[in-house]
Amino acid sequence: MATMKPMSRIIPISDLPWEDRQPGVKRKSLWEDAATKRQAILTRIEPGAQLPRHRHVGDELIFVVEGAIGDDFGTVTAGNMGYRPNGCVHTISTKNGATVLAILTGGVEPAAERGSAPPSEVFALHDLPWIEARPGVRQKRIWEDKAGERRAILARFEPGATLPRIATWVTS
């Protein structure tokens, strides 16, 4: 028998509690898939707070909602994105505070030194061109992993634009 899975889920972020992670750092767990270790987290970092040196086991995309955060490789300001590849080792700090949305495909572990770990990247979204994806829908292509068929895009929908419905079926 085939059943249709839900197409999407609205996450009421304001209803989720802030959890203290360490002094000056709070987070809201928005979504998690324990089987794949993928998760979406909203983090609020107070002015002057710092996250200790850590290694990413899996990759991470971040979008800075407000403020700015910096690491060993650069600063990501509000409205821009950063990418931390699998194995990236860095510390995070913020002078004036920040709110960050992070999408992770694995966890993090403590790290003593950076060594030859891959660097993080900063994407200034205003520098990326808008590309017509379909009538009424434009996108900025931020990041892509062709081997893993994963990508991050920013989409802009003009009034009245729609995307075709794609059904996902599960058979049992």
Q: Which fold has domain 12-127?
A: Jelly Rolls (2.60.120)
The whole-number mean pLDDT for each consecutive block of 10 residues of the chain, a chain of 172 residues, reads: 68 94 95 91 96 93 97 95 94 96 93 90 94 93 83 92 68 46
pTM, two decimal places:
0.85
Q: What per-residue confidence (pLDDT) applies to 3?
A: 62
**Where are the domains positioned within the chain?**
12-127, 131-171
Q: What per-residue confidence (pLDDT) applies to 172?
A: 44
3-state secondary structure the chain: CEEECCCCCCCCHHHCCCEEEECCEEEEEEEEECCCCEEEEEEEECCCCEEEEEEEECCEEEEEEEEEEEECCEEEECCCEEEECCCCEEEEECCCCEEEEEEECCEEEECCCCCCCCCCEEECHHHCCCEEEECCEEEEEEEEECCCCEEEEEEEECCCCCCCCCCCEEEC
Q: What per-residue confidence (pLDDT) applies to 2?
A: 57
